[in-house]
Amino acid sequence: MVYARRVESGIVLMESIIDERYRLDLIRHHLEEVEEKAGKSIFFCPLCQSDRPKGKYTQKKGAMFWSEEWSAWRFNCLKCLRQATTMYRYLLLVNQGMAQQYQRDRFHAGRTGKGSDCPNPAELKYSYCPKGLEDLPAKMAMDSI
């Protein structure tokens, strides 16, 4: 596995090439008014601030920050996310096509599944489907009897 090693605000980042690519793509094309502050990238949250009133800068922005524990990026928005989330989950919320591509890239690099912060593509259909709903048609058929 090839990692890009950078030092930013005194923190050594062991960012994978894949994460770097998606992070830069998000910053260049998908996130608004990105600022670097205290080791975080801060931006207007595409989930809840895209139609904010223009000219008002009192709103808190969402943030992308480096998690040393996971050696990976985490996203958070104090307005709409209750807890920090992974790059994969964040992409699922803002751009599903990018999320699937990211997951495939991680899968091919052997960095999905158990012990990673990105599920295997094969697990995807289960992670979308709340427990108990997998066999909904059968249950509905039962209800109508």
Least Å distance, CB 73 to Zn ion, is 16
**DSSP assignment string, 30-79:** I-EEEEEETTEEEEE-TTTSTTPPTT---SPPEEEEEETTTTEEEEE-TT
78 near Zn ion, rule: CB under 5 A: no
Q: Which of 114, 115, 116 is nearest to 19 (CA)?
A: 116
Indicate which single residue of 11, 80, 129, 141 sits in contact with Zn ion (rule: CB under 5 A): 80
Indicate which single residue of 18, 31, 64, 77 sits in contact with Zn ion (rule: CB under 5 A): 77
Nearer to Zn ion, 18 or 75 (CB): 75
79 near Zn ion, rule: CB under 5 A: yes
Are 26 and 33 within 8 A, CB to CB? no
Least Å distance, CB 81 to Zn ion, is 6
Instruction: Select the span of 6-14, 30-38, 63-71, 72-80 touching Zn ion (CB under 5 A).
Output: 72-80
Instruction: Measure the CA–CA gap between 21 and 50, rounded to whole angstroms.
Output: 23
31 near Zn ion, rule: CB under 5 A: no
Query: Which run of H or of E encompasses 107?
Result: helix 96-108
Indicate which single residue of 34, 47, 94, 109 sits in contact with Zn ion (rule: CB under 5 A): 47
Are 87 and 18 within 8 A, CB to CB? no
48 near Zn ion, rule: CB under 5 A: yes
In the complex, which residues of this chain contact Zn ion (CB under 5 A)? Answer: 45, 47-48, 77, 79-80
